[in-house]
Amino acid sequence: MTLVIGAFTIGLILSLLSMGVWISFRILRYCDITVDGSITLGASVTAILLVKGWSPWTATLAATLAGAAAGCVTGILHTRFKIQELLAGILVMTALYSVNLRVMGRSNVPLLDVETLASPMARLITRYASNPDALNVCGWLVPIQDMAMLVTVLLVTVMAALLIRWFLLTHVGTALRATGDNPQMVRAQGVNNNTMVVFGLASANGLVGMAGALLAQYQGFADVQMGIGMMVWGLASIIIGEALAGRTTPGLALCGAIMGTVLFRLLVAIALRWGLNPNDLKLVTALFVFAALVLPDSVKSTIHQFLKRQRHA
């Protein structure tokens, strides 16, 4: 049960990351690797502020803004200075590694006994629970801390998803969606597509920074290495999500991103339980994304050829 709760919590936290990657990868059609750096940036900013005694809400907000600033830089490198999109992201990601070390002052900041976003919820549950340590969920004893974190994260993620969906249906949001689809058309309708790219990358990385903030508070530390491979994680989750919910409207796609991330996290938890070496996890994820990107087409063409041969026979 702890395993499932843990998988759900991390899944919901990383849903914020997936929604960010979805904005850059699917809406802007921009392959933004900044994510690997900005999630760590979010985590380190939060960790250091929490250690200094800031309130968890302010710390999380600061992490979100820091992520957004990183996205802004990538966007400006690409639009203003005409650097290729992938390279712009790599430059910012590399720079962020040093920035993160500077922010934390060392490579790892533990968060022991600090107030987190989940603390108010934990107090609330404790007040109504009979047992002060653990909660009885369908016959399983779950530590209140874990339960509080899960509920908090669920609330934050759902709120974020609703907010993004609403935004994408506004006038500005519509223009943002069209920017990835057809920049020429967007310019002809009087919208500066470069501003839209910068703005979109800023909001995407803001979400990623927020995911980093929550992740640090959940796992109880921030580490300079924690962002490696995060963008591919997000991609894998989005691909699963699209298989589950489709991508016809922003609402469905966002639902899919959340469901995909949680499901992917559960699958990983199960695989680890069955004895998958954690060191192989990133290789397996990369292979999965490769397969998901390539297989649909090759399967289609195989079927097509098969049908053709049938017809000729």
Residue 133 sits in the site that holds other proteins (CB under 8 A): no
Q: How far is the CB of 89 from other proteins (least distance, A)?
A: 23
CA atoms within 13 A of residue 215's CA, in its CB half-sphere: 30
Helix (H) / strand (E) containing 109: strand 108-110
d(CA 29, CA 155): 28
Residue 301 sits in the site that holds other proteins (CB under 8 A): no
Q: Which residue in the set 186, 214, 224, 232 belongs to the binding site for other proteins (CB under 8 A)?
A: 186
Smaller CB distance to other proteins: residue 75 or 212? 75
Smaller CB distance to other proteins: residue 100 or 193? 193
Q: How far is CA 96 from CA 62, 66, 104, 127, in A?
A: 16, 11, 12, 42
CB 88 within 8 A of CB 33: no
Residue 123 sits in the site that holds other proteins (CB under 8 A): no
Smaller CB distance to other proteins: residue 31 or 178? 178
Residue 278 sits in the site that holds other proteins (CB under 8 A): no
Smaller CB distance to other proteins: residue 123 or 187? 187
Q: How far is CA 248 from the centre of its chain?
A: 21
Q: Which residue in the set 50, 175, 213, 268 belongs to the binding site for other proteins (CB under 8 A)?
A: 175
d(CA 112, CA 91): 33
Smaller CB distance to other proteins: residue 190 or 278? 190
- Residue ranges in 151-170 that form contacts with other proteins under rule CB under 8 A: 167, 169-170
Q: Which one of the spans 69-77, 124-132, 185-193, 223-231 is the region binding other proteins (CB under 8 A)?
A: 185-193
Q: How far is the CB of 185 from other proteins (least distance, A)?
A: 6
Coil vs helix vs strand at 248: coil
Residue 6 sits in the site that holds other proteins (CB under 8 A): no
How many binding residues for other proteins (CB under 8 A)?
Answer: 23
d(CA 197, CA 30): 9
Q: Which residue in the set 3, 4, 87, 185 belongs to the binding site for other proteins (CB under 8 A)?
A: 185
d(CA 196, CA 183): 10
d(CA 153, CA 146): 11
The helix-helix angle for 281-312 and 250-273 (nearest 10°) equals 110
Smaller CB distance to other proteins: residue 54 or 167? 167
Coil vs helix vs strand at 14: helix
Smaller CB distance to other proteins: residue 141 or 163? 163
Q: How far is the CB of 249 from other proteins (least distance, A)?
A: 9
Residue 184 sits in the site that holds other proteins (CB under 8 A): yes
Coil vs helix vs strand at 52: coil
d(CA 99, CA 94): 9
Place of tokens 């591919």: 232
- Residue ranges in 243-262 that form contacts with other proteins under rule CB under 8 A: 248
Binding-site ranges for other proteins (CB under 8 A): 167, 169-175, 177-178, 181-182, 184-193, 248
